[in-house]
Structure 1
Amino acid sequence: MRRHPGGRRDRPLRTDRARAGHEWRRRTSVGPRPATLRRCRGDPRRRNQSVGQDHRRGGWLRDRRRTRCRVDHRAPRSADPVIANVRPLIEAAAITFGYSREQPVLNGWSGSVAGGEIVAIVGPSGSGKSTLLYILGTLVRPWSGTLWIGDHDVARVGDRGRSDVRSAAIGFVFQDALLDPRRSVFDNVVEGAVYRGDSRAEAGVQARALLERFGVDVESSRRATDLSGGQAQRIALARALLDSPPIVLADEPTGNLDHINAKLVETALFEHARSGAAIVMATHDEVLAARCDRTFRLS
């Protein structure tokens, strides 16, 4: 406990509390966190670190001008033999999960998705398509099995570690868009970038370009209410593709759309895959699934 210059005893200063918290985490830690996860945003030991040797291997990167971590997939994986031989962007083995112990939805599921690949998850309603998508997106922790996102087994890290991986590497397109009605269209698109610690101004430039690209003809300052299904899904698509994430997960991305809007969403996802990203979509559309590189069929 520190004292003020006048001798008055007062509450601990912020540095004392921070040091105490660090000591508690050190004593209670099961083991060292993966070195790559220690590089995530705000770590003062890594704040001035330049890009490391893993700058094209889908690892966590530190930019001198930013205090966040990201995955760089700008170099096509097939263009370099070193990149072509690294771990797939998504690799799952023996995944088991359910909402009751008596009847698991997924029982020993395994699969992988490489950069530049589009994979469809198909199956009847209730077969676990959305559940599998949420597990691959680190929103749900499986009961057992391993799940690698890049070089990280996210099935074995805590909520904070999974959140870091999710914000740095994964974009989501949900079936019902899931926009926040209390916030503006613009804020809905840039919220993920702001959470990562990106410049709001830079994210705003990208957001407006994506909204224009997808033909969203509403004021960006308008609240995300009373939008048509097509408008909401195009805004959700802009949110998912902001900052070009290396992984995009889409849950029935065209299920509630007319033909024109469905084609726009489909084209954007396929173009993003050609840039080197891994795309996984759950769908009932057999025609769309047939266009994908591979299909995971659940029963």
Structure 2
Amino acid sequence: QGEYPPGSTYKVITAIAGLEEGVINRHTTVYCPGYYEYGDRIFRCWKKTGHGYCNVVKALAESCDVYFYQIGQKLGVDQLAGYAKACGLGKPAGIEFEHESKGLVPTSAWKKQRTGISWRRGETLSVAIGQGANLATCLQIAVLFSAVANGGTLYKPLILKTAETEGTAPSESGTVIGTLPASKKTLDIVRKGLQEVVTGTGGTARIARIEGIQISGKTGTSQVISRKKNDTGRKRDRSPHLKAHAWFASYAEADDSRIAVAVIVEHGEHGSGTAAPIAREITKTFFSLAGN
């Protein structure tokens, strides 16, 4: 039921949109100096020293904000929104649970209706990295990463209450609720980036590595509030309620996935430090119980 900005887990959607619309390809390279100038504003990358030259695989692996700012700028918020909705955001996932939240996929029309103010192009840059008015549930992100792993099929999630005798357990096929707006070529590129998140030398979730199990995933940091005057700006001094939420979404194994996991730690700050270790332990336990 909780709704949160999806943070950098949303970059999967931005990458899919950019690749499908021809804004980027596997080899499109962008230089990240640690910031991006757009109009009279400067949009910062989380890595102050920059990521240097990035293609989309490296940008996913190292979570380069500058790369995705530029995709968002070229696509526009409404085109991004179309892909986000097709990926399952902005609507209930359909689980049998009362009052399931649907999140929020912002559009230019939504802002105009809500505030009477036109959408500003700079706002799209924030949306492209999963910030701004974006809201998603942990379940929606789990369903999204499951679809990325299985080749593009979105399944209705179920709650398994009991496992009965053989032949009466729920079917593994599930109910199809949609298909990702992505070709096999696009998904192969995205999956390569998500694999590098964990296995790459510059990946943001190397802590999620599991010996003998190929895990792929994406970290995320979900901003709670803009920096206030009474906030010192130093993370260790910030009030707990001002600290960002931490995301990690993953699947395993990379080439033959059996489990998808999404974890959010409220006010956990960084997905790599708090959420990824939780997902790692869940995944380890699953494969241990399943006999690997």
* TM-score normalised by structure 2 residue count: 0.25
Report which of the two structures shows the higher radius of gyration computed on alpha carbons: 1
* TM-score normalised by structure 1 residue count: 0.25
